[in-house]
């Protein structure tokens, strides 16, 4: 299985516009091709001048320089600031030749054709120097970085309109079961509404995957086989029918058309989970009980989807250390996914928390993983909690 996964993890890249780039994983490093800012500019409104000529200015010793023009953003002063002169200047405007400082407007007033001022400014003061933000030739973003809004803005500041990112893995979700009804449609007397496909869609999008299709199928072997063998994707998630019952067709289909090296794991919930592949397409057979489906996705499928998209395979949950209040029970030989809540700084297990009780995950603060070698955690034990929020 590991060999097959390695074969699937050669990242493909695609080019997307900056408008679509936030949240995507950068495929190649980005090196700036220009300085930002590309010229010396004023950091505030005021007067561009030679800083040395302001020495000694104060409330009781105002000095004055002759105003010879103005510089505006996008419209520079074409001449030069000579000794004894200054130009009006706005924030962001190019610093005129000959000037080396900007006197803030609040320390100056215009008197005829002169500017009178009562404060001194040193050379370089209130000036944004060329390249102070970005220097041409420097790497500004490394490959593998998940782009944040400010990263996208930085790319725009060096003139990029698009960027190369890791292609999102294409994921097909197949929810199976004669008992399933589509939310919003009429439900039969002995049907339940499908929640797994909705949960899986949200998890896949959280982890950077792209939904190739979402199919709700009856327990029909031929339909399931067709859905599992149609090309054009990277990962298949089958929800339901993963065990060994008469209507559990997915394991047999996967073993027939591909390989199913793992079927059944020592976990609670999620023990009927299966993992295999059809060619280079990775297939995860997830139990139909909602909490089992969520748990199996997090333990197995989510890691792969994040990895294929260039993200860290680690769980995307915040973690917090906390002390156990009431005993959390498990059994040696299996991994337990225990939903818990934080009460007065202590961890308490959720009392009603079967594999089909999806509301247990909405009532819980998070979950605790109990390793196979332990029988649980007693009161007073410090544990790591994975927070749902």
Quick one: residue 58, left, alpha or beta (phi over 0 = left, psi -120 to 50 = alpha)?
Answer: beta
Digit-coded pLDDT (tens) for 240-270: 988 877 778 999 999 999 999 999 999 999 9
pLDDT at 202: 97
Digit-coded pLDDT (tens) for 316-353: 999 999 999 999 999 999 999 999 999 888 999 998 77
pLDDT at 345: 85
Of all residues in the chain, the percent with pLDDT exceeding 70 is 97
Mention every residue, 6+ apart, whose C-beta is less than 8 A from residue 16: 24, 162, 163, 165
pLDDT at 8: 38
For tokens 């699937």, name the residue. Answer: 8
- If you classify domain 319-387 with CATH, what class do you get? mainly beta
What is the Cα–Cα distance from 365 to 348, expressed in whole angstroms? Answer: 10
Reading the block at residue 167, the tokens are 């292609």
Mention every residue, 6+ apart, whose C-beta is less than 8 A from residue 113: 66, 67
pLDDT at 7: 35
pLDDT at 351: 81
Report the CATH fold assignment for 170-308. Molybdenum Cofactor Biosythetic Enzyme; Chain A (3.40.980)
pLDDT at 201: 97
What is the Cα–Cα distance from 236 to 167, expressed in whole angstroms? Answer: 17
pLDDT at 10: 54
pLDDT at 361: 93
- pTM score, whole prediction: 0.85
pLDDT at 133: 96
pLDDT at 146: 96
Digit-coded pLDDT (tens) for 4-22: 333 334 578 999 999 999 9
Whole-angstrom CA distances from 70 to 101, 110, 325, 345 are 14, 13, 71, 63
Structural domain spans, the chain: 2-37+132-166, 41-128, 170-308, 319-387
Reading the block at residue 201, the tokens are 């869609």
Arch. (CATH architecture) of 41-128? Beta Complex (2.170)
Residues of the chain with pLDDT under 50: 1-9
- If you classify domain 2-37+132-166 with CATH, what class do you get? alpha beta
């Amino acid at each position: 299985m590991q060999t097959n996964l390695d074969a699937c993890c050669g990242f493909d890249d695609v080019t997307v516009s900056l408008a679509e780039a936030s949240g995507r994983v950068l495929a190649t490093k980005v090196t700036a091709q220009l300085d930002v800012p590309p010229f010396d500019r004023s950091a505030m409104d005021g007067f561009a001048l030679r800083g040395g000529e302001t020495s000694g200015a104060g409330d009781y010793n105002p000095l004055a320089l002759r105003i010879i023009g103005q510089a505006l953003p996008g419209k520079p002063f074409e001449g030069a600031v000579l000794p004894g002169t200054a130009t009006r200047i706005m924030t962001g405007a190019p610093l005129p030749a000959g000037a080396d400082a900007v006197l803030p407007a609040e320390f100056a007033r215009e008197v005829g054709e002169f500017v009178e001022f009562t404060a001194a400014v040193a050379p370089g003061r209130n000036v944004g120097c060329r390249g102070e933000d970005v220097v041409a030739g420097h790497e500004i973003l490394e490959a593998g970085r998940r782009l944040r809004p400010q990263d996208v803005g930085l790319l725009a500041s060096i003139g990029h309109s698009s960027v190369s990112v890791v292609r999102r893995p294409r994921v097909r979700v197949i929810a199976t079961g004669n008992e399933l009804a589509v939310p919003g449609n009429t439900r039969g007397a002995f049907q339940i509404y499908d929640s797994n496909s909705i949960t899986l869609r949200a998890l896949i999008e959280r982890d950077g995957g792209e939904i190739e299709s979402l199919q709700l199928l009856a327990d029909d072997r031929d339909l399931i086989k067709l859905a599992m063998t149609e090309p054009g994707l990277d990962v298949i998630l089958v929800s339901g029918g993963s065990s060994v019952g008469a209507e559990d067709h997915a394991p047999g289909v996967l073993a027939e058309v591909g390989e199913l090296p793992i079927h059944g794991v020592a976990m609670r919930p999620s023990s009927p989970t299966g993992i295999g592949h059809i060619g280079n397409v990775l297939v995860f057979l997830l139990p139909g009980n909602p909490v089992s489906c969520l748990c199996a996705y997090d333990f197995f499928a989510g890691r792969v989807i994040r990895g294929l998209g260039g993200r860290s395979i680690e769980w995307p949950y915040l973690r917090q250390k906390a002390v156990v209040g009431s005993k959390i029970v498990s059994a040696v030989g299996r991994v337990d996914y225990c939903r818990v809540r934080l009460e007065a700084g202590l961890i308490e297990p959720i009392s009603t928390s079967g594999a089909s009780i999806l509301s247990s995950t909405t009532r819980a603060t998070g979950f605790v993983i109990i390793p196979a070698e332990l029988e649980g955690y007693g009161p007073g034990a410090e544990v790591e909690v994975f927070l749902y929020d």
